[in-house]
Amino acid sequence: MTRNTRRRSKTARRAVGAAAALAIGAGGLVAVNIYASADETGASKGSAQNQVLAAGGSTIDCPDVGQQLTSVPAQAKAQVDRELALLDKQISEAYQRLSTSQRAIAQDPNFAQNAIIGPLKDKRKATIDRIATAIGRVAAKPQGLDALAACTLKATGNQPAAGQPSASPSPSNNTNAGVAGNGPVAADFVDITKVKANVSAPARSAKASKGSFVTKCGVNANKLYNSDNVIVAPGVTNGAHHVHDYVGNQDNDAFSSDQDFAKAATSCQNQGDKSTYYWPVLRLQDGTKEFDNDKLGGGAEGNTGRILTAKQATLDFVGSPRGKVVAMPKFLRIITGDAKAFVNGTANANASWSCTGFENKVQLKDKYPLCPRGSNVVRTFKFQSCWDGTNIDSANHRTHVAFADAAGNCPTGFKAIPQLVQRLVYAVKAPSVKDNGKTTPFYALDGFPEQQHKPVTDHGDFINVFDAKLMNKLVQCINTGRKCS
């Protein structure tokens, strides 16, 4: 197959995916998840809840079905991936319905339940049933998934404190995502100079692999953006519902195959590294209308403002504090962090926030840092450093890899692999939290709309497309204690 033929084939796949996305969303964009608890239908309780809803104080909290699927047969994977992506779309649509129905919610105590939450549960149940059926055709049908259909309303913490002004926009700032009601808010930021030191260096054994390997792949100056996620939602346009920066492989979208990755160009200086590294973009909520201001994944789902390009992006591979590392298998997929951590909880939250000059003292998980003058915002991602020795991916994209324990040991049966440490630096002014970003606007990462742009949802994605020669060099450098690039 020629390169042009491959391009046409991929374009056709994308067209089919886009058409499917349009068909799914033909009823109009409705945004994230909404399900009230079964006991919240009483008038007094509903009235109090509606007051919170009308004030923009709630979001939708749905069980993460994908994380519960630890085993999906290969024959069912394509359909299951599509159905999981549809669940995300249903949540996104429901959330938008919630955010645009404040008046109706305030007037009718049962509106959220009857018009949004109930229908969403019905849609989710039908989709979950299709997932169970698809798996059941080729393996034991999973039991109990129906219990994951119902969702609840979750307080966002986004209501202004007593006496604090709301984040009303200036004339040039009328697309501010915070103003639109889905965050961030002043409480999501903290003065880095007032946070206690919380960084400790891990102990190394005498057998530790102390070398490192740096791959230089740029900062996405090519402006390669899309709201796909080829790991979590392959074949689905806008599967991420937020925009990613991409460095390394230049052929990353929902329809990229391993063969596409292997043949693509790379932004990495060493052409032996065609790996793909991607993360949610960071935006300044200054009213700028970006290229995606009215598009799904962008402004149509609450991701608005000027996309900021990191001034520096470093990609380091480091060793194990307990011993030697082995080569990563080609096309290994790793996700670190959890894009849904605001509603899922912090079990898989892993990204860290800090400021230059403070990284050896303070790392934040659930707050954006307010950096002093002359200091820059830093996002750091440490990827899983243990591999099961067999699989390049898993059904929930997590169980084939793992983090080492506090002593640096991998779980039984897992092998230590080079750990990717990704560091992004941004020159962005500390927002004016006292007036809710009116004077100096908030910055925030892109995310699923219902996640409220919370910093705890930051995450990174990696697919290894090193050629064998360069991967072997990387491993040798780490295991022999050298620093290479």
Closest CA to 266 of 281, 246, 243: 246
How much of the chain exceeds pLDDT 70, in percent?
84
The better pLDDT of the pair 181, 377 is held by: 377
Instruction: Identify the pLDDT of residue 54.
Output: 47
C-alpha span between 352 and 369 (Å, rounded): 10
**Residue 57's pLDDT band (cuts 50, 70, 90):** confident
Sort 212 into a burial class: Cβ within 10 Å, 0-12 / 13-18 / 19+: buried
Instruction: Identify the pLDDT of residue 11.
Output: 58
C-alpha span between 460 and 317 (Å, rounded): 15
User: How many beta carbons lie within 10 A of that of residue 1, not counting itself?
Assistant: 9
Instruction: Identify the pLDDT of residue 39.
Output: 36
Instruction: Identify the pLDDT of residue 88.
Output: 97
Altogether, the residues listed in the chain come to a count of 485
**Residue 27's pLDDT band (cuts 50, 70, 90):** very low
Instruction: Identify the pLDDT of residue 3.
Output: 42
Average pLDDT, the chain: 87
Instruction: Identify the pLDDT of residue 9.
Output: 58
Residue 228 three-state SS: coil
pLDDT at 171 over 80: no
Whose structure tokens read 């040039």? Answer: 172
Instruction: Identify the pLDDT of residue 160.
Output: 54
pLDDT at 400 over 80: yes
Task: Retrieve residue 458's tokens.
Answer: 């930051």
Q: What is the pLDDT of residues 115-149, one digit of tens each?
A: 998 999 999 999 999 999 999 999 999 999 999 99
pLDDT at 23 over 90: no
C-alpha span between 363 and 347 (Å, rounded): 17
Instruction: Identify the pLDDT of residue 30.
Output: 26
Q: Which of 31-45, 161-175, 314-328, 332-346 has the lowest mean pLDDT?
A: 31-45
Task: Retrieve residue 35's tokens.
Answer: 């399900």
Mean pLDDT of 51-79: 84
pLDDT at 474 over 80: yes
Outline where DSSP puts E strands in 129-195. 152-155, 189-191
Instruction: Identify the pLDDT of residue 202.
Output: 74
Task: Retrieve residue 26's tokens.
Answer: 């033909």
Instruction: Identify the pLDDT of residue 206.
Output: 86
Residue 382 φ then ψ, to 5°: -105, 120
Residue 476 three-state SS: helix
Q: What's the Rg (C-alpha) of the chain?
A: 22
How much of the chain exceeds pLDDT 90, in percent?
75
Whose structure tokens read 């391993």? Answer: 258
**Residue 21's pLDDT band (cuts 50, 70, 90):** very low
Task: Retrieve residue 59's tokens.
Answer: 């979001």
Task: Retrieve residue 189's tokens.
Answer: 């930021």
**Residue 155's pLDDT band (cuts 50, 70, 90):** confident
C-alpha span between 138 and 396 (Å, rounded): 18
Instruction: Identify the pLDDT of residue 35.
Output: 26
Distances (CA, A) of 468 to 262, 325, 448, 473: 12, 15, 36, 9
Q: What is the pLDDT of residues 441-468, one digit of tens each?
A: 999 999 999 999 999 999 999 999 999 9
Q: What is the pLDDT of residues 193-250, one digit of tens each?
A: 999 999 987 778 889 999 999 999 999 999 999 999 999 999 999 999 999 999 999 9
Q: What order do you get walking across the sheet with 333-337 strand by strand?
A: 225-226, 244-248, 276-280, 459-463, 333-337
**Residue 36's pLDDT band (cuts 50, 70, 90):** very low
Instruction: Identify the pLDDT of residue 183.
Output: 86
**Secondary structure string (H, E, C) spanning 45-103:** HHHHHHHHHHCCCEEEECCCHHHHCCCCCHHHHHHHHHHHHHHHHHHHHHHHHHHCCHH
Instruction: Identify the pLDDT of residue 159.
Output: 62
pLDDT at 379 over 50: yes
Q: What is the pLDDT of residues 86-103, one digit of tens each?
A: 999 999 999 999 988 888
Q: Which residues, at least 6 apart from 8, have a Cβ–Cβ distance to it below 8 Å? A: none
Q: Which of 17-31, 35-49, 325-339, 389-403 has the lowest mean pLDDT?
A: 17-31
Instruction: Identify the pLDDT of residue 106.
Output: 85
Give 12's Cβ-side CA count (13 Å radius). 6
Q: How many Å separate Cα 293 from the centre of its chain?
A: 19
**Residue 297's pLDDT band (cuts 50, 70, 90):** very high
